[in-house]
Amino acid sequence: MTLKDGKTGMTLRVDSIGESGLKERLMTMGMLPGTKIKVLRSAPLGDPIAIGLRSYNLAIRRKDAEQIQVTAI
């Protein structure tokens, strides 16, 4: 599954991040393969979503979240 399909409250582990302009920025901000992330909530119209990782929160659009392969844990 990808992060796009993550439901609020789920804890996920990142498997890989697809090649895109965002990949290096995401990695710099601590999202690496193996990193645990939690889906916190989505904005009123369902997009973007807020996720928690490495003790901080980040907002990301679903379109970009689709690039992130995850496994539910």
Partner 1 sequence: MSGSLSVALTGNPNTGKSTIFNELTGARQKIGNWPGVTVDKKVGYVRHNDKDIMIVDLPGTYSVNARSPEERIVIDYLMENHTDLVVDVVDSSNIERNLFLTLQLLEKGIPLIIDLNMQDEAKKRGIKIDVKKLEKFLGFPVLLTVARDGSSLKNMLNVFTSISMEGYGPSEKLQDHIAKAKEIESTVTDEKARQEQLIELRYAFIDEILRESVTFSHVGTTTSEKIDHVLANGILAIPAFLLIMYAVFQITFEWIGQPIADFVDELVNDQFLGWASETLADAGVADWMQSLVCDGIIGGVGSVITFVPLIFILFFCLSFLDGTGYMARVAFIMDPIMRRCGLTGKGVMPLMMGFGCGVPSIMGARALDTEKDRMLSIMAAPFLTCGAKLPIMALFAAMFFPDDAANVVFAMYVVGVVMAIVSTKLLSHTTFKDDNSTFLLELPPYRMPDMKTVLLETWDKGKGYLVKAGTIIFLGCVILWFLSAFNSEGMVEDLNDSFLASIGSVIGSLFVFQGFGNWEAGAAVLSGVLAKESVVSTIGILYGMPDISAEAEDAVETAEAMLGTGMGSAFTPLSAIAFMVFSQLYTPCVTALGTIKKEAGGFKWMVFAAVYMFVLAWVVSLLVYQIGSLLGF
Positions touching partner 1 (CB under 8 A) are 21-30, 32, 40-41, 43-48, 50, 54-61, 64
Phi and psi angles of residue 65, each rounded to the nearest 5 degrees, phi first: -65, -25
Nearest approach, Cβ of residue 10 and partner 1 (Å) = 16
H-assigned helices in the chain: 23-28, 62-65
**12 beta partners:** 37, 72
Largest CA distance in the chain: 29
Cis bond leading into 48, ω under 30°? yes
Q: Nearer to partner 1 by C-beta: 7 or 41?
A: 41
Nearest approach, Cβ of residue 13 and partner 1 (Å) = 15
Q: Nearer to partner 1 by C-beta: 12 or 64?
A: 64
Q: Nearer to partner 1 by C-beta: 5 or 23?
A: 23
